[in-house]
Amino acid sequence: KAGVTQTPRYLIKTRGQQVTLSCSPISGHRSVSWYQQTPGQGLQFLFEYFSETQRNKGNFPGRFSGRQFSNSRSEMNVSTLELGDSALYLCASSLGAGPLETQYFGPGTRLLVL
Partner 1 sequence: TQLLEQSPQFLSIQEGENLTVYCNSSSVFSSLQWYRQEPGEGPVLLVTVVTGGEVKKLKRLTFQFGDARKDSSLHITAAQPGDTGLYLCAGFTGNNRKLIWGLGTSLAVNP
Q: Which residues bind partner 1 (CB under 8 A)?
A: 4, 33, 35, 41-45, 48, 55-56, 58, 90, 92, 97-108
The CB-of-36 to partner 1 minimum distance in angstroms stands at: 11
29 with 103: CB under 8 angstroms?
Answer: no
Give the amino acid at 91. Answer: C
The CB-of-30 to partner 1 minimum distance in angstroms stands at: 13
CA geometry: angle 71, 90, 47, nearest 5 deg = 65
What count of Cα atoms within 13 Å lies in the side-chain half-sphere of residue 35?
A: 17
Q: What distance in Å separates the CA atoms of residue 87 and residue 94, rounded to the nearest whole number?
A: 23
With respect to partner 1, which residue has the nearer C-beta, 80 or 101?
A: 101
With respect to partner 1, which residue has the nearer C-beta, 6 or 113?
A: 6
Q: What are phi and psi of 10, to 5 degrees?
A: -135, 145
With respect to partner 1, which residue has the nearer C-beta, 84 or 107?
A: 107
With respect to partner 1, which residue has the nearer C-beta, 4 or 76?
A: 4
The CB-of-82 to partner 1 minimum distance in angstroms stands at: 22
The CB-of-15 to partner 1 minimum distance in angstroms stands at: 26
Q: What distance in Å separates the CA atoms of residue 106 and residue 40, rounded to the nearest whole number?
A: 21
